[in-house]
Structures are given as C-alpha cells and as structure tokens.
C-alpha cells in the first residue's frame, strides 16, 4: 500500500497522480474484460475507449498501442525481478536468487482472477505471445551479469566452444534459459488447470524435474 501512495521518485502521490492511476486502471479493466469476452484481435481501441467512457485521444495518452494494454506493466515486473535477484544474500546461488525474483514478480499480480485472464490471453493469442516471449528474452539479457556473478566455474576441463564463449557466461545463459522455460511451462499448466494451485509451486516442480 505504501508503494501505491508514492510516485516513481518516492514522493507522495498528488491528487493528479491518483486520478491518473485510477483512470488507467479503469481502462485496463475494461480492455481485459473485452479481450476475454470477445477476443483480443476482435477488440478495437475505439471500442475500449467507448466502453471505458473516454475519448480515443485520452485512451492513446495512456496507452499508445493495444499491446500496451496487456504489457504496460512489464517494465515494473522486470525491475522487481532484477532488484530482487540483486538483493539476495551473497551465498545464494543463481537458482535460489532467480527463484526469489520470480516469486516477487508473480506477487505483483493484483488478483488470481486477473492474472489468469492475462496469462490465458498471452498464451492463446499468437501476436501477444510473441511479444511476451520477446520481453522475457530481454529479461534474460538484463539478468545475465547478475547470474554470471553468482556462478563459479570450479573446473578447468572445458570444451573448446565453452572456452570461446566463456564457461561462466555459457552456464549463466543455460541457467536463465532453463528458469524461464520452466516459468513458461508452469504458467501454461496453471492456465490449463483453470488457475488451480500456485504458479511458483508448478515452477518448482518443473525445475526439480529438469535438474533431477
């Protein structure tokens, strides 16, 4: 609650800030409802504006494209993921640090129902899924230095291609690819199960299966 009452700079939110946030939230709720009821591709920005009770000009001030209506908070998700991984104890390995980051990122969803609607749309709409996976690739690139720092090679017996890339970097990339593949698998399974259980538990099960 404290974070919601402040701006990005940490200053107390003004009435204008709160009004803008409420308007943005109402538009998002309207868009998500329409996407769920009639499909993402079948819903136009004009219809969203009309249903939300705002002009199209106002709508475009908040969201420049239709894709932003589902992906506008991805920067915040990525920042929480990065910050949480960086804040983990020095003796936490890469797997532990990334697991903490993923749990923190998943906790940002304001409700189970809203998360289920979003993930269902993201996984079942080809154009949205492509953008979603592209953002996750960016997350992996951003996290690479932090993961490399937590990986100790501990071996001198490396192959030639690993030497060329750098064994630590190669292992870090493999860890990140595995983590995000397990997270993607967990969210798809969660959607298929109608939102039963918790994504983080499904993630743990996926990762245990791979690492085991």
Half-sphere exposure of 121 (CA within 13 A, CB side): 24
d(CA 6, CA 23): 17
Tell me, yes or no, whether 196 and 157 share the same domain.
yes
Tell me, yes or no, whether 178 and 82 share the same domain.
yes
d(CA 106, CA 100): 10
- CA 67 vs. chain centroid, Å, equals 14
Tell me, yes or no, whether 112 and 52 share the same domain.
no
Residue 158: the pLDDT is: 47
Q: What would the pLDDT profile of 150-187 be if each residue is shown by its tens digit?
A: 986 444 444 554 554 588 899 999 999 999 999 999 99
> Which of 35, 70, 105 finishes a domain?
70
Tell me, yes or no, whether 79 and 166 share the same domain.
yes
Label residue 103 exposed, middle or buried (CB < 10 Å: 0-12, 13-18, 19+): middle
> Which of 16, 35, 70 finishes a domain?
70
SS3 content of the chain, % helix, strand, coil (to 5): 75, 0, 25
Total count of domains within the chain:
2
Question: What is the rounded radius of gyration, in angstroms, for the C-alpha atoms of the chain?
Answer: 20
DSSP symbol at 11: S
Tell me, yes or no, whether 65 and 138 share the same domain.
no
Tell me, yes or no, whether 44 and 141 share the same domain.
no
Residue 18: the pLDDT is: 65
Residue 155: the pLDDT is: 43
**β-bridge mates for residue 12, sequence order:** 6
Tell me, yes or no, whether 82 and 54 share the same domain.
no
Q: What would the pLDDT profile of 93-142 be if each residue is shown by its tens digit?
A: 999 999 999 999 999 887 888 889 889 988 888 888 888 888 889 999 99
**Concatenated DSSP letters for 158-184?**
--HHHHHH-HHHHHHHHHHHHHHHHHH
Q: How far is CA 44 from CA 73, 119, 151, in A?
A: 20, 20, 47
Tell me, yes or no, whether 80 and 170 share the same domain.
yes
SS3 6: strand
**β-bridge mates for residue 6, sequence order:** 12
Residue 19: the pLDDT is: 67
Q: If DSSP states are collapsed to H, E and C, what string results for 121-162?
A: HHHHCHHHHHHHHHHHHHHHHHHHHHHHHHCCCCCCCCCHHH
Tell me, yes or no, whether 78 and 65 share the same domain.
no
d(CA 167, CA 172): 8
pTM above 0.85, yes or no: no
Tell me, yes or no, whether 165 and 134 share the same domain.
yes
CATH number at residue 172: 1.10.357.10
Residue 85: the pLDDT is: 96
70 or 205, greater pLDDT: 205
> Which of 70, 92, 125 finishes a domain?
70
Q: What would the pLDDT profile of 14-67 be if each residue is shown by its tens digit?
A: 765 666 677 788 888 898 889 888 888 899 999 999 999 989 988 888 888 888
Q: Which residue in the block uniquely carries the two structure tokens 């409700």?
A: 111
What percent of the chain is predicted at pLDDT more than 70?
A: 83
Q: Which domain holds residue 117?
A: 73-211
Q: Which two tokens stand for residue 125?
A: 């709409």
Tell me, yes or no, whether 85 and 40 share the same domain.
no
Contact 68, 53 (CB under 8 A): no
Tell me, yes or no, whether 91 and 145 share the same domain.
yes
**Residue 175: CB atoms within 10 Å:** 21
Q: What would the pLDDT profile of 73-99 be if each residue is shown by its tens digit?
A: 778 889 999 999 999 999 999 999 999
């Amino acid at each position: 609650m404290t974070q919601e009452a402040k701006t990005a700079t940490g200053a107390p939110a003004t009435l204008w800030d709160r009004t803008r946030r409420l308007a943005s939230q109402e538009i998002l709720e309207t868009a998500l409802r329409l996407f769920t009821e009639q499909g993402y591709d079948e819903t136009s920005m004009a219809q969203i504006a009309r249903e939300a009770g705002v002009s199209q000009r106002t709508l475009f001030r908040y969201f420049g494209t239709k894709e932003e209506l589902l992906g506008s908070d991805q920067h915040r998700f990525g920042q929480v993921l990065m910050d949480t991984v960086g804040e983990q104890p020095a003796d936490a390995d890469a797997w532990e640090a990334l697991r903490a980051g993923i749990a923190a990122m998943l906790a940002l969803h304001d409700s189970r129902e809203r998360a289920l609607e979003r993930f269902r749309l993201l996984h079942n709409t080809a154009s949205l899924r492509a953008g979603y996976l592209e953002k996750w690739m960016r997350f992996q690139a951003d996290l690479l230095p932090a993961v490399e720092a937590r990986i100790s090679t501990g071996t001198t017996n490396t192959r030639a291609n690993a030497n060329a890339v750098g064994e630590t970097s190669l292992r870090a990339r493999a860890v990140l690819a595995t983590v995000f593949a397990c997270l993607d698998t967990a969210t798809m399974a969660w959607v298929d199960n109608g939102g039963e259980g918790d994504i983080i538990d499904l993630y743990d099960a996926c990762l245990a299966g791979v690492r085991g």
